[in-house]
Amino acid sequence: MNRSGTITVPLCVFVLAACTVFPHPSPGTPTGATSVGGTSAESDAVVRMLEDIRAISTIGAHRGWRTAGSPGEAMAFEFVAGKLEALAANSSLQLEVTRETYRLPVGSQIHEARLWLDAGTGEVEAPADAICCSRRADAAALYFDSDGQAGDLEAYPVEVSGVPLRVRTADDLARLRASRGGGIAVVDFALVDTYVQGTEVASRNARSLLEARPAGILLVTRFSNKVGESHGTQLAVGSIFTRMADEPWPPILYARLEDLGPAGVSTWDDLDTLHAIRLQWDADILMPGESANLVARIPGADGDHAIIVGAMLDSVNIPGAMDNAAGASVLLEVARRLAIEGQQPPVDLYLVWFGAEEVGLVGSSYFAATHQALLDETLAVLTIDCLGSPLDGLTPRLTFGSWPYGVAGQMRMPWVEDLVAFALGAGFSAGPSTSGGGSDNMSFVVYDVPNANLIYMNEDEMNEAGGIHYAIHIHDPYDEAALAEKESATLARMFDVAYAASTGEIGEASSLRVSPRPEARALLVGSHTEAVDLPMTTLASFGIVLAMEGVDVDLLPYGAPVTLEALGTVDMAILLPVMDYPVTGLGPEPYDESWTPAEAEAIEQFVEQGGLLVLAASRHQLGWTNALWDANEDWADMNTVAERFGISFAAGDQTDPVTVVSGGSLNLGVNSLESAEGNGVPIVYSAGEALARAGQSPAVVYVAVGDAGGGVIAVSDLGMLGSYGYDPRNVPFWRMLAQLALER
């Protein structure tokens, strides 16, 4: 993809031509579409969706599939775009399609992941895949690059071969360590499966495996539908290996036991008949990478309001038929049905295929950040993620999840309630979830947009069985079209819900929000915050509290310059930390973000005219529950603005608990503040007062500015504005900030 948003077809054709595509049979699953009864139109819709699922879930086979930032993901967007273009050309549907691109911390391209087995009669090739790194742009990510150098796409195949060394038990592992190197370790993935072993044991086993120094590692999994048995969950992305960063590894590939039949292998014992194994691996890591969103707008009768229905298109280096080619196919079928029926939706309808969901909801975060005017008009958001095939004995249902405003004392979720009522009224098994939804719907929480996520699960059963990814065959190598076909009746129900939401059959627009009409406006200034998911991961509860206090939250997105005009109707501006993706020493550094003197001047004028400014520093990029992610090399850039008010952020660690100073001119409402441990940046000030301290270091500083009532509040740790749950300690502090905004 280039920066204009065009996805180039020649690249896709080249990648397809270069791939050796193997069939991926799933044991015990059907190979044909399951009839769901109903009308002919309903059956036709299911057939079309299953065809789309089969097509999408084979894109990029054994070359990274549709991993975020990969050629496979780009090809999937090209596939959907082609379907939409054909629909627009052959119907009266007023369909406007746009593509938008954005950068990711990490992207990947797997050029070669090949496996040859020799049982004594010559080599036979079997399908295999490479594991991928996590979203973090750190030194460990380079272990997933065959030449250990990020940022290049030069071929650098690594090939190893040797005798197979089967490892299925702790005793096998001990013998491998005693041998100290050589051979190809053929490892039962169950030995390092955190869902089966637990994190501590799986980590210890993985560490022992790496310390044994085999020439290469082949992780092998097998299909199981029994709770308690391993079936490769998180094998490809998110396995225990992505959390280890001590030294480079040998090549690591994975394969399914069922796919080794051409070499005479059908059981674990058959692996002992192999004489030799050869692995070939060639992969590149890009820092940063690139992904995209695809947006289809269908004008409604009322152009002043909108509904957004979305689904992710990326996968976790597996076929991803149910997670989430299924959701992508549902959106396509909604567009088809509208075209067939010639129906104009009651309000503007946005169908959005998001990229990069699996690496932190980056695509939907980018969409929310760059469509702020649309969000002000949006009645509700529904995301479709995802279909699933349950383990034996589990009874999933259509589950609609969202994040209630419990942090502000409001647990009602009207949009979720309406969706559940529709599903139950149609005879479907359905229920709500208050755990957030866990998908692209979460990117809209901080902006007070009613949202819900549809997923096929039973929350109580999932948690007891080991978690959603384990319990319904997603994020494992068996998430492919055959299992999706088995669940085709549920796929049809998901379409029914999505279509009803798209055509205004669900929900009374006037009753979907629980927050009051806003009387003030807060602006998150993210002009130099390339980590577009930061507001979603960190500030969701903060945004909820502001909304319930009557403060509207908007965002100035990455790349948009700060001007006095942009700040013109703002009561409180919150400067997010400067944070770009290039990491010193790990890849190319083509750009470096910072505030410009003109932006600093505009911000200073805003405060002098009576505005409230919050400066939030951060030594790291923050994730859910204030977890520390990549180090933020740009933490000191906040000083370009801060120094105009006699404040600066200094080098050094701030790790002590944050306590509130009594008798300050502003009442923070609490005696202490939660923070992200290890994320604070010490504050030095020459004017104003410290409202809170971490040990002896100022942690919250207030400076009154000018005669118009302007003020600056400097916060040493962005984590003080972020936490997860319904009762964070900092709520009174956030309410105080809301009241200051309302007083402007």
Does any domain span residue 560? yes
What is the CATH number for 661?
3.40.50.880
Claim to verify: residue 190 and residue 86 sit in the same structural domain: no
Claim to verify: residue 305 and residue 255 sit in the same structural domain: no
Which of these, 364, 343, 344, 345, lies nearest to 355 by C-alpha position? 364
Claim to verify: residue 368 and residue 326 sit in the same structural domain: yes
Q: Sign of dihedral through CA atoms 241, 242, 246, 247?
A: positive
Query: Which among 229, 255, 286 is the end of a domain?
Result: 286
Domain total of the chain = 3
Low-confidence ranges of the chain (pLDDT < 70): 1-38, 245-247, 723-727
Does any domain span residue 40? yes
What is the CATH number for 154?
3.50.30
Does any domain span residue 62? yes
Task: Give residue 587's pLDDT.
Answer: 73
Does any domain span residue 260? yes
Residue 447: alpha-carbon gap to chain centroid: 18
Task: Give residue 5's pLDDT.
Answer: 37
**Radius of gyration, alpha carbons of the chain:** 26
Mean of the per-residue pLDDT values for the chain?
91
**431 bridge partner residues:** 399
Claim to verify: residue 123 and residue 99 sit in the same structural domain: no
Claim to verify: residue 421 and residue 347 sit in the same structural domain: yes
Claim to verify: residue 243 and residue 135 sit in the same structural domain: yes
- Tell how strand 184-188 and strand 216-221 pair up: parallel
CB 66 within 8 A of CB 291: no
Cβ-Cβ contacts under 8 Å for 85 (sequence gap 6 or more): 97
Does any domain span residue 538? yes
Question: Domain range for residue 204?
Answer: 107-286
Q: How far is CA 317 from CA 66, 239, 281, 611, in A?
A: 6, 12, 15, 48
b/e sequence 290-306, b meaning 16+ C-beta within 10 Å: bbbbbbbbbebeeeebb
The burial class, CB within 10 Å (0-12 / 13-18 / 19+), for 218 is: buried
Cβ-Cβ contacts under 8 Å for 197 (sequence gap 6 or more): 190, 191, 205
Rounded-to-integer distance, Cα 2 and Cα 85, Å: 20
Claim to verify: residue 499 and residue 644 sit in the same structural domain: no
Backbone angles phi, psi at 711, to 5 degrees: -160, 160
What is the CATH number for 33?
3.40.630.10
Claim to verify: residue 506 and residue 524 sit in the same structural domain: no
Token code pair at residue 502: 């798209």
Residue that the structure tokens 């695509």 belong to: 363
Residue 343 DSSP class: P
Backbone angles phi, psi at 298, to 5 degrees: -120, 115
Cβ-Cβ contacts under 8 Å for 509 (sequence gap 6 or more): 305, 379
Helix (H) or strand (E) holding 206: helix 199-211
Residue that the structure tokens 């004028």 belong to: 605
Claim to verify: residue 194 and residue 260 sit in the same structural domain: yes
Task: Give residue 38's pLDDT.
Answer: 62
Rounded-to-integer distance, Cα 298 and Cα 351, Å: 8
Which of these, 426, 434, 425, lies nearest to 400 by C-alpha position? 434
Q: Provide the strand spans (E) within 387-519.
A: 397-401, 430-433, 451-457
Task: Give residue 586's pLDDT.
Answer: 76
Residue that the structure tokens 């560490």 belong to: 207
CB 285 within 8 A of CB 150: yes
Task: Give residue 241's pLDDT.
Answer: 84
Which of these, 363, 573, 545, lies nearest to 445 by C-alpha position? 545
Does any domain span residue 402? yes
Helix (H) or strand (E) holding 209: helix 199-211
Claim to verify: residue 596 and residue 671 sit in the same structural domain: yes
Q: How many CB atoms lie within 10 A of CB 438?
A: 17
Claim to verify: residue 126 and residue 94 sit in the same structural domain: no
CB 218 within 8 A of CB 383: no
Q: Classify the phi-psi angles of 5: left when phi > 0, otherwise alpha if psi is within -120 to 50, otherwise beta.
A: left
Rounded-to-integer distance, Cα 711 and Cα 744, Å: 10
The length of the chain in residues reads: 744
Does any domain span residue 441? yes
Rounded-to-integer distance, Cα 223 and Cα 27, Å: 7
Query: Which among 511, 536, 551 is the end of a domain?
Result: 511
pLDDT tens sequence across 439-458: 999 999 999 999 999 999 99
CB 132 within 8 A of CB 146: no
Query: Which among 463, 491, 511 is the end of a domain?
Result: 511
Does any domain span residue 1? no
CB 103 within 8 A of CB 581: yes
Claim to verify: residue 423 and residue 314 sit in the same structural domain: yes
